[in-house]
Every structure is written in C-alpha cells, then in structure tokens.
Structure 1
Amino acid sequence: MSDQLRVRRDVDATPEQIFAVLSDPARHPEIDGAGMVLGLAAGGPVSAVGDTFTMNMNNSILDDYQVTSRVTAFEPGRRIGWSPCGLAGDTLDRLGDMKPGGQTFTFELEPNGSGGTTVTQVYDWSGVEDPQFRSLMPFLKEKHLAETLEKLGKAAG
C-alpha cells in the first residue's frame, strides 16, 4: 500500500485565485473536506517555505485542539504545501506515548487550457515515524480530499 493519496480535479478558477485561498490559512475552514478545521488561531497569509500558522481543530480522537503547521512548499500559482508540526496545550497529554508528525498536504496547480486549473492534492504520510500514529494512517480518506477540491473550486471562483 502506498503512503499517500492523490486526488486530481479540474477547478473553474485560475491558479492565482486558487493559490490565494490556499496561502491564506484563515480561509482553510471554507475548503476543509473532512470537517476538522474550525478556524485560524495564529499566523496570517503565508509567503515562504518555513512560515507557520496555527489552526483550531476538532476530530473524534482529540476533540478540540490546536495544531501548528509549517509551510513545506511555496511556488506562487504552482504549488503549496504544509506539514502539521506541533500540537498546543494539553493535546500531547491526551495522546500518551503517541508522537504525531510526518504528514504533508500539498496542492499542485496546473493551468488546464480552458481558463481553469487542474489541482492535484497530495496527502503523504510517508514521513510518519511513530508506529502508533502510523497505525491511524491514512487519517483522511480519498473522499475528504475530493470534497476539499470541490470546496476549493467554490471558494476560489
């Protein structure tokens, strides 16, 4: 089994419009196909690899929590990605010995010739080292990624 999911869709928006949504974490609740992103806690629009932002989140395992992500790819109008790299508050206590980390979420944008963009979302967990955390992978399913791309088209259009 591969350590990544890839979903590709044509979106009726330009690469620049799509990149504007993706590079502004405050807009991520609009495009979250898994229903876990509640809102921006810290950070602003990102502009380079290494930038960070913190999101308020909720899922069935951790309930409410905050996660900080670091930008891992940044090519305006072409490619953007991030990796969750830190949990805030008592979240780590709730995880016990589990050490999260190692996932990346990357969006590749390619003009499709009809004025729109072919967007490929890559969810990659090949960098997950902790066996307990790895046992939860893939936490997101293909349907979540597909829904994200549907919502991204509406948000960017």
Structure 2
Amino acid sequence: MSDQIQVSKTVDASPEQMFALLSQPSRHTEFDGAGMLRGVEPGGENVSGTGDEFIMNMNQDALGDYQMKNVVTAYEENRKIGWAPSLHPLDGYKDKVGDAQATGHTYTWELEPAGSGTKVTQTYDWSGVEDEAFRGFFPMLTEDQLSESIDKVANAAK
C-alpha cells in the first residue's frame, strides 16, 4: 500500500483563482471534502510563504473538537501550495491519542495551466509519519474526498 493518495483533474478555473483561495485558510471550510474543518484561528487568514502557520479548528468522531497547527511547506505563487498539519498543542490530546505523535503528513496542491482551466493535483502524503501508533490512523481521507475538495475549490473560484 502506498503512503499517499494523489488526485488530478482539470477544472474550469485559472491557477491564479485557485491559488487565491488555497492561500486563504479562512476559506478552507468552504471546500473541505471530509467535513472536518470548522474554521481558522485569528492570525491565519492569509499564507504568503513557506514557514507560515495557521491553526484550524476541527471536529471528527474519534477526537471531537480539536485543533491542528499547519506549517506551510510548499509555496510557489499560483503554482504550488502545501502544508504539514500536527495536533495543537502536540501533547494536548493524550486522553484520546495516548503518546502518538500526530506529525509527518502533508497536503500539497499543484496547479498547472491547461487551456482555459487548470490541471490540479492534490497529494495527501503520510510517508513522513514516523510514529507507528499514529501511522495506524492513515489514510484518514479518501480519494473521493480529495476529488470533492478540488471540485469545491474550482466552484468557489468561478
């Protein structure tokens, strides 16, 4: 089994339109294909380069309400953006995940002009997860959920 899921499709929106939305974490709830995002904490409204951080409020059955800190790992304006999430605070959920270190996975979006639209490739990669207890949770998302996220961003960009 691969340690990543990658979905590519061509959408009817420009790379600039797609990137403008993806670089605004405050808009991410609009195109969350998994339905876990609840909003961004103040200070995380816009991403402008690698190393930037934003904290998302989340909810899912196993954890209930929780937060993820996302560090921007890829940033090439109008072409590529990605982030690495980790529980926030990292040791704040021991009652639910024990000593598992919830780090090492990434989400990366690549945008390539394709005619009047954009070829979008979204990669959900957990190959960097070193903690075996946390590795057992993957994949947390499906190919269909990633595909739905791409569609939602494209629709919001129109």
- Range of TM-score over shorter length: over 0.9
Provide the TM-score with structure 2 as the length reference. Answer: 0.94
Aligned counterparts of 1:128 and 1:17: Cα–Cα separation in 2: 32
CA deviation vs aligned residue, 1:86-140 (integer Å, no higher than 9, x gap) = 4238434422121111000000000101x11010000000000111110111111
Q: How does 1:8-157 map to 2 (within 5 A)?
A: 8-42=8-42, 43-88=44-89, 90-113=92-115, 115-157=116-158
SS at match of 2:46: coil
What is the percentage of aligned positions where both structures have the same residue?
A: 53
CA RMSD, aligned part only?
Answer: 1.2
Alignment partner, residue 3 of structure 2: 3
Long gaps (5+) in structure 2: none
SS at match of 2:18: helix
Runs of 4+ in 1 over 2 A off after TM superposition: 88-94
SS at match of 1:69: strand
Give the aligned length: 156
Provide the TM-score with structure 1 as the length reference. Answer: 0.95
Q: Given residue 113 of structure 2, which amino acid in structure 1 is its aligned partner?
A: P
